[in-house]
Structure 1
């Protein structure tokens, strides 16, 4: 692994690793926790209604292993409707490349990373604790899947750190969701700049500059390792909280 890639060889995988694979031409990634024996526990839309009520629910549908006419012998059918599932490594990757998410990243390297959803400033807990949390949530769920507030990356980051955003009305604890939001804001700002100027070169330069600044600021400000609105929550309390919210 290095500055430009977190690509990982399967032989280097260890239980407790937070792994991911890019989908849809690097638009977003699917995340999970490797628990050993070629198994990955991850949070998906399986058995749940989509959570954003937007066109993104139609576009981003590969959070779960793709359906197959031939069932995977390593992934027996499950009645789990909580969204947290266990899959073999091959089904999790769905033909994609294996990467490992980095923790305790140096701020300079964090900002230099060309892609979102690859690292965090936060420190990770011991591997055995991470595996315990993932298995506990496999049995008890992680609440309702929501692209912007409670997604697969949030699940994996929680398993690694026990950190959650204290105010669930705010943005997700991962910087990637914040970046998507930031890019939406950038689009609005760019549109305003276009109407404010008749010079196409000025408009283009202003839009690019605004987009770059918004992107890096949102990535850093929303990272779980630096936010002030995050707290450590035991896995038992996470489950109890979600059950209380259930109808």
Structure 2
């Protein structure tokens, strides 16, 4: 993989890989865990309700469930109305998009160079057997209520890979693409910027630096508000509004 693209061929996939596909003109990506046999376990909302914000975003970013097709998939059946943690074939998961792999344990320099969020993290992945155990366990038990800002498809895949959940209730989840949006919004709305430089080029450099810092400190690999939770604990908490946190801190 490189700085410019995380695209991967199907033949190169391995069980336990965190995969994603861009939706809606690259505005948002849908994430899941490849489990082998051309199948992906992923966290979805029903068609037309994917974002779960109750705002216009629900119609703008229809990205977290397989797109309805004229014919029903022979392997998956009709999944257009399903929600929660489901298993789909690669074709249904991709919904016509390209296949990309999410990278783990990247260096800080590489992370900053990958300016688009939701493509990599500085956090290390657990062994594939642990990743598959979490994904398959949550396929049966669910992953709580879908929420764009707290508990989305990328959060699900990152949990399967690392076991990390967010400890604090006021911050966003582990999603790198949401961290990018938050960092960009904070940069644009930061009024002190105009007092720190008088040149257009200086403003661009300063804004880029603030954006990079915002993404960096929000990454699950360095933030201090995440804890490692055994999947068995999540399984016993089915019915809770969102997964609960435990005691072991990210260290």
TM bucket, shorter chain: 0.7 to 0.9
The match for 1:134 is 135
2:211 aligned to 206, 209, 215, which one?
A: 215
Instruction: Specify whether residues 95 and 111 from structure 1 end up closer, same or farther in structure 2 by C-alpha distance, changes over 3 A only.
Output: same
Question: Do the aligned residues in 1 keep the contact of 2:141 with 2:235 (CA within 8 Å)?
Answer: yes
Give RMSD over aligned pairs.
2.5
Query: How far did residue 25 of structure 1 move?
Result: 2.4
Q: Provide, for residues 123-142 of structure 1, a one-character-per-residue CA deviation record: whole Å limited to 9, x for no partner.
A: 11111111111111111111
Which has the higher mean CA deviation after the structures are superposed, 23-32 or 152-161?
23-32
SS in 1 for 2:239: helix
Quickly say closer, same or farther: Cα 1:240–1:93, change in 2 above 3 A: same
- Unpaired runs of at least 5, structure 1: none
Residues 145-166 of structure 1 deviation map (CA, whole Å, 9 limit, x = unaligned): 1111111100000000000111
| Deviation by residue 1:197-237 (Cα, 9 ceiling, x = unmatched) | 9xxx9475465344312321111101111111110001122
Moved more, 76-85 or 178-187: 76-85
In the alignment, the residues of structure 2 paired with residue 79 and residue 113 of structure 1 have an alpha-carbon distance, to the nearest angstrom, of 33
Q: How does 1:111-150 map to 2 (within 5 A)?
A: 111-150=112-151
Separation in structure 1 between the aligned mates of residue 28 and residue 210 of structure 2, nearest angstrom: 18
2:40 is aligned to 40
Instruction: Determine if the alignment matches structure 1 residue 168 to structure 2 residue 169.
Output: yes
For 2:76 and 2:198, the matched residues in 1 are separated by 55
d(CA) in 2 for partners of 1:45 and 1:211?
34
The counterpart of 1:236, out of the listed 232, 237, 243, is: 232
- CA separation of 1:118 and 1:244: change in aligned 2, threshold 3 A: closer
Aligned partner of 1:224 in structure 2 is: 220
Count of residues in Structure 1 that have an aligned counterpart in Structure 2? 241
SS at the partner of 1:219? Answer: helix
Task: Give the alignment's TM-score, normalised by structure 1.
Answer: 0.88
What residue number does 2:184 align with?
Answer: 183
Separation in 2 of the partners of 1:137 and 1:219? 28
Kindly indicate which of the two structures has a greater share of residues assigned to helix: 1
Please give the alpha-carbon distance, in whole angstroms, between the structure 2 residues aligned to 1:232 and 1:57.
30
Check the 8 A contact 2:119/2:176 in 1, yes or no.
no
Q: Distance in 2 between matches of 1:163 and 1:223?
A: 12
CA 157–71 in structure 1, closer or farther in 2 if over 3 Å, else same: same
Q: What do residues 50-93 of structure 1 show as CA deviations (whole Å, max 9, x unaligned)? A: 53233222211121010112111111246995511111001111
**1:20 touches 1:29 (CA, 8 Å); kept in 2?**
yes
Unaligned runs of 5+ in 2: 243-251
Identify the residue that residue 87 of structure 1 maps to in structure 2: 88
| Cα 1:50–1:116 shift into 2, 3 Å | closer
Alpha-carbon separation, structure 2, partners of 1:234 and 1:94 = 31
